[in-house]
Structure 1
Amino acid sequence: MHPSGNGADVGLRRAELLAATSLAIDLGLGQPMEHMLRSSLIATRIAERMGLPAERRAIVYYANLVGWIGCHADSQELSALFGDDIAFRADTYGVDMAGLPFLRLMVSHVGRNSPGWERGVRTAAFLLTARHQVGRLIQSHCTSAGVLSDRMGLDREVGQALAYIFERWDGRGMPDGARGDQIPLEVHIVRLADVAEVHLRTGGLLRAVDVIRARRGTQFSPEVADVFAGDAAAIVDGLLEIDVWTAALAQAPDRHRTLHADEADELLRAVADFVDLKCPCTPGYSRGVAESAAGAARSMRMPAADVTRLYRAGLVHGLGRLGVSNQIWSKRGPLSTAELERLRMYPYLTGRILSRVAGLESVVSIATKGEERIDGSGFPRGLVGAELSSADRLLAAAVAYHQLLEPRPDRPGLDNSAAAQAIRAEARAGRLDADGVEAVLAASGHRPARRTSRDGNLTAREIEVLRLVAQGRSNREIAAALHIAEKTARNHIERMYAKLGVRNRTQASLAAIDRGLAPFAIDPTGNG
């Protein structure tokens, strides 16, 4: 079940949602965002010069925009072979992707960062089965690309074209070794535009032309290569200076099409499924987060518009994960500082990707806070207490619960009961909102926990101590205010810490705020 969308961020345009998805694809390719948008402009300009009719130019546009959407489905396998899947994809743009140059590139990534002996063993094993392993990955890519294209509502011809995205003019591509005119002309244009954009951006116009000419008749169609090389300056004119987002959307075949609420939800579910294929989680993870968050919001009688925003935020909260290598997601043992920083960037990347879509502003605001915690221990911004709305807290609880159900490199997935116990412990420790946790668990099929005091079973005196701690009082000042010995005050504080599951005064103060205790603290002026 999903909400109806009444009143929440209506009027979304499909072209913008697909363009935003392309930004996530860019990150997974090791390219800066707008790579695919820029290459789509190159592709459509080539198609115009070749006289393709509007319906075929539409295939070129969207096949380019989402052409690599399937590659993220095999990120786990790619990472197992080559380590950093994003770095490997980025490096492929520098070679012809056939013969010895491509083999040398693959070997250079096999076992990278492994001990010498292990890398040697893995390299030898890879060389014995290289074509079979790479072929299997490419077959997976092509199949996934077609399915995801269909799920996103693109024309059937787009999905059919994506089956050829790894084929080459000279027949040395995969998965079927199609050659020449056996490959749709639209794909020949897309493949050239994709590579030309990278070399234009990194090496300039002359470098881009040199690369295309060097691969003419091998990777690229001679006809398409000649069109590009013959009018390259005009084809790429302004591409490195213009507002690419606006320019690319102006070329979208359905740029004026506005989605109904149900259509928007269906497209966002397709995006969610796309993300789940990339990350080390089970299919349906993002949908589960969305449904738990929305169900919790309904049980708390939040407005229908907020329910819809939470549902959509749950679907798309993980989109930025595509910018994090599976080598990090799958690493056993502690992450390095750099790896941890990259992982903690994913909500920020989600926000950057989706902030371009008009009408998703309130969804993005929630979606970027799924990893925040009310004690300030979350990421990426370390928000605390009142900085997190009720909707933010519900999404954080839903994300935390469903992450516990997922297997991780260092542990198996927890069963429902163990996950519920773990998330309730997080609430007792002051990291997650207790009411939000119970609402999420109820929406996920758990029985409500036996209600306990919102104060963590604190005694009346411990509540008084907590209020004073929240005011910033020292142990001596607390003792004086309560007319007790300083040692007694210290003992009360230690017991209060243990009951709340906090370790310092900052966390205790946040717990007081979240429990509505801080506003009633004793006034230090003595005026009540």
Structure 2
Amino acid sequence: MAQSARSDVRLAEMIASLSLATDLGLGVPQEHVLRQTVIATRLAAAADMSTDAQAATFYVSLLAWVGCVADSFELSQWYGDDRQVRSDSYQVDRTGLPMLRFLLDHLAVGEPPLRRITMVGRLLTSGIRDAANSFVAHCQTTSDIAGRLGLQDDVRRALPHAFERWDGKGVPAKLRGEEIEPVMRVVQIADDAEVYCRIGGVESALAMLRQRSGTEFDPALVDVCVRDADRILGDVDGVDAWSVVIDGCSALDRRLDGPELKDVLTIFADYADLKSTWFLGHSRATAALAAEAAGVLGLRPHEVETVERAALISRIGVIGVSTGIWDKPGALSIIERERVRTVPYLTERVLSRQPRLAEIGALAGMCHERMDGSGYPRGLTGAMIPVAARLLAAADVYQALSEERPHRAAFGRIDREQILADEVTAGRLDAAAVRAVLAAAGHHLGRRPDMIAGLTRREVEVLVLLVRGWPNKRIAAHLSITPRTVGSHIEHIYTKIDVSTRGAAAMFAMRHGLVPDNSGN
């Protein structure tokens, strides 16, 4: 595909996919933001808003809470699980004494009593100001993303008003009443209404709206929602929200060309890395390294492009794990480790609704698979893992080793090279992928390192032919060595991989992706 050609991905599909990642950060069930958007657009229509305003409602709704990851570090410092506190906040009118009580109830949960007392004191002296600053960070991040997406002025004008309130007690500008953009007033109602509809039904949502009318919400819009409740809220839990949203975005939608698609995927990368201060820049660096390594390995241009795109979005699922886990300085518990292992699955789910993104997401979801089957989430083995995924895995490991983490310092270049070589010897990473990544990272490689399980390059060549049933003489003739040398190699191979039959050796070769090979045999 020519670089200037249009891709088969639409801007609306990208933003809707990003909203699925936002759901993870909010700690709410998947497609909350999509269902919220269905409600918002219905309410905008029922309120006789202009055609332009109704079109803008789609994008404002999809992006209103995208900045939620911006304050993950701060929330985790106060409350541990940033996702849980966001999810629970829907149950309270977020101002005054009810909000203060909510914050105190969630403060330092699980911590020793003395630390909780200390944290309460800190919250009362500076925590409220910090909470307001987190809303500012959210709005600024959302505005940054909207600007990078090139969205229209009416969309970008409304987004900073996400946390303003009708009664003027919101943040950051304490706007009041009609000073708040009408589109955002609609979205605010739709956001909470979706949660209450899902948990308690339409009547529960209407009771909440009546209670907050004139304080948090525009009373005129609440009246419209109550009046037309069946049409606006009645079937929201049964509609295909993705299709409704994508079809409704057409007024402001466009297809992305190749460079634009990469730019938007880079936004996804930055969004994922914002989840923890330890991750900043990781996805961009991994993508650059993986793409360079793909070129070293001789992949075709479109394959290099696919590797780079998959690397950019390979960590979007980290948003679905509490920042308190990512920032934990000690060993993770079993439950925490299991949560971390869901990241590739969550990445695939975020990208699953658009066909082209689903293809890229399937590759990204293999980032933590290993050649010996010890990886996750599916425990794939060698031959089941494509070359692109092997490159992605090696690049991700190398880049992670170069970065500091809460439980360790960054590794130096020599140590990184040795660790990757050890991973090859142990059978977890692919030798060719590791060599390409090291070359791309500027390592000066001498002889080819030992292969899986300590096998040399020549032993791998013998193994590949042996498991295909070739007799020793034929192997010898093909490799220009003697039959006796072949026999010696086979003896060493069996010893190194701890088998004694051709069939068992064949299973080993398939598990580690050694067959089919690229020699044309």
With normalisation by structure 1, the TM-score equals 0.86
- Whether 1:126 aligns to 2:123 is yes
- Give the aligned residue type for 1:113: G
- Give the aligned residue type for 2:78: L
**Partner in structure 2 of residue 231 of structure 1:** 228
Mapped contact 2:293–2:437 kept (Cα < 8 A): yes
**Partner in structure 2 of residue 418 of structure 1:** 415
Identity %: 39
**Partner in structure 2 of residue 480 of structure 1:** none
Q: Secondary structure at the match of 1:93?
A: helix
- 1:138 aligned to which of 131, 135, 140: 135
Mapped contact 1:497–1:508 kept (Cα < 8 A): no
Mapped contact 1:10–1:261 kept (Cα < 8 A): yes
- Whether 1:16 aligns to 2:13 is yes
Cα distance in 2 for partners of 1:382, 1:175 equals 47
**Partner in structure 2 of residue 524 of structure 1:** none
How many residues are treated as equivalent by the alignment?
494
Mapped contact 2:26–2:83 kept (Cα < 8 A): yes
**Partner in structure 2 of residue 182 of structure 1:** 179
Cα distance in 1 for partners of 2:2, 2:435 equals 24
Q: Secondary structure at the match of 1:139?
A: helix
**Partner in structure 2 of residue 344 of structure 1:** 341
Shift of 1:72: 0.5
- Whether 1:153 aligns to 2:139 is no
Shift of 1:404: 1.2
- 2:189 aligned to which of 174, 192, 211: 192
- Give the aligned residue type for 1:179: R
**Partner in structure 1 of residue 104 of structure 2:** 107
Shift of 1:247: 1.4
Shift of 1:447: 2.3
Mapped contact 1:84–1:326 kept (Cα < 8 A): yes
Cα distance in 2 for partners of 1:460, 1:386 equals 18
Cα distance in 2 for partners of 1:251, 1:382 equals 40
**Partner in structure 2 of residue 267 of structure 1:** 264
- After superposing the two structures, state which structure 1 stretch, 291-300 or 255-264, moved more: 255-264
**Partner in structure 2 of residue 41 of structure 1:** 38
- After superposing the two structures, state which structure 1 stretch, 350-359 or 150-159, moved more: 150-159
- Give the aligned residue type for 1:156: D
- Give the aligned residue type for 1:223: A
Shift of 1:506: 9.5
**Partner in structure 2 of residue 479 of structure 1:** none
- 1:216 aligned to which of 208, 213, 224: 213
- Give the aligned residue type for 1:30: G
Mapped contact 2:451–2:457 kept (Cα < 8 A): no
- Whether 1:496 aligns to 2:511 is no
Shift of 1:213: 0.6
Mapped contact 1:286–1:315 kept (Cα < 8 A): yes
Cα distance in 2 for partners of 1:343, 1:144 equals 25
- 1:249 aligned to which of 240, 243, 246: 246
Mapped contact 2:454–2:496 kept (Cα < 8 A): no
Mapped contact 1:466–1:509 kept (Cα < 8 A): no
Shift of 1:177: 1.5
Shift of 1:67: 0.7
Cα distance in 2 for partners of 1:518, 1:284 equals 36
- 1:173 aligned to which of 167, 170, 190: 170
Shift of 1:30: 1.0
- Give the aligned residue type for 1:431: R
Cα distance in 2 for partners of 1:463, 1:363 equals 31
Shift of 1:46: 1.1
Q: Secondary structure at the match of 2:256?
A: coil
- Whether 1:368 aligns to 2:365 is yes
Cα distance in 1 for partners of 2:310, 2:411 equals 24
**Partner in structure 2 of residue 433 of structure 1:** 430
Q: Secondary structure at the match of 1:102?
A: helix
Shift of 1:494: 11
- Give the aligned residue type for 1:330: D
**Partner in structure 2 of residue 478 of structure 1:** none
Cα distance in 2 for partners of 1:448, 1:328 equals 37
**Partner in structure 2 of residue 92 of structure 1:** 89
Mapped contact 1:280–1:329 kept (Cα < 8 A): no
Cα distance in 1 for partners of 2:299, 2:340 equals 32
Mapped contact 1:470–1:512 kept (Cα < 8 A): no
**Partner in structure 2 of residue 474 of structure 1:** none
CA deviation profile, 1:407-449 (whole Å, cap 9, x unmatched): 2110122244432332222122211111101111222232234
Mapped contact 2:372–2:511 kept (Cα < 8 A): no
Cα distance in 1 for partners of 2:494, 2:328 equals 37
Shift of 1:81: 1.0
Shift of 1:157: 2.9
Mapped contact 1:323–1:346 kept (Cα < 8 A): yes
- After superposing the two structures, state which structure 1 stretch, 358-367 or 338-347, moved more: 358-367
Shift of 1:74: 1.4
Shift of 1:368: 0.5
Shift of 1:465: 12
> In the superposition, relative to structure 1, how do residues 276 and 464 fare at CA in structure 2: closer, same or farther (>3 Å)?
closer
Q: Which runs of 5+ in 1 are unaligned?
A: 472-490, 499-504, 520-528
Cα distance in 2 for partners of 1:461, 1:349 equals 41
- Give the aligned residue type for 1:369: M
**Partner in structure 1 of residue 326 of structure 2:** 329
Cα distance in 2 for partners of 1:508, 1:109 equals 56
Cα distance in 2 for partners of 1:425, 1:281 equals 25
- Give the aligned residue type for 2:398: Y
> In the superposition, relative to structure 1, how do residues 358 and 455 fare at CA in structure 2: closer, same or farther (>3 Å)?
closer
Shift of 1:224: 1.4
CA deviation profile, 1:165-215 (whole Å, cap 9, x unmatched): 111111111122121122111111111110000001110000000001100
Q: Secondary structure at the match of 1:11?
A: strand
Instruction: List aligned pairs for 1:53-72, cutoff 5 A.
Output: 53-72=50-69
Cα distance in 1 for partners of 2:59, 2:460 equals 61
Mapped contact 2:164–2:170 kept (Cα < 8 A): yes
Shift of 1:361: 3.6
Cα distance in 2 for partners of 1:518, 1:133 equals 58
Mapped contact 1:375–1:507 kept (Cα < 8 A): no
**Partner in structure 2 of residue 444 of structure 1:** 441
- Give the aligned residue type for 2:417: A
Mapped contact 1:201–1:240 kept (Cα < 8 A): yes
> In the superposition, relative to structure 1, how do residues 339 and 459 fare at CA in structure 2: closer, same or farther (>3 Å)?
closer
- Give the aligned residue type for 1:297: A
> In the superposition, relative to structure 1, how do residues 465 and 195 fare at CA in structure 2: closer, same or farther (>3 Å)?
same
Shift of 1:341: 1.2
Shift of 1:367: 0.6
Cα distance in 1 for partners of 2:511, 2:198 equals 51
- Give the aligned residue type for 1:13: R
Mapped contact 1:438–1:449 kept (Cα < 8 A): no
Cα distance in 1 for partners of 2:446, 2:74 equals 41
- Give the aligned residue type for 2:210: R
**Partner in structure 1 of residue 479 of structure 2:** none
Cα distance in 2 for partners of 1:157, 1:404 equals 44
Q: Which runs of 5+ in 2 are unaligned?
A: 469-490
Cα distance in 2 for partners of 1:54, 1:507 equals 67
Cα distance in 1 for partners of 2:460, 2:16 equals 53
- After superposing the two structures, state which structure 1 stretch, 134-143 or 271-280, moved more: 271-280
- Give the aligned residue type for 2:370: R
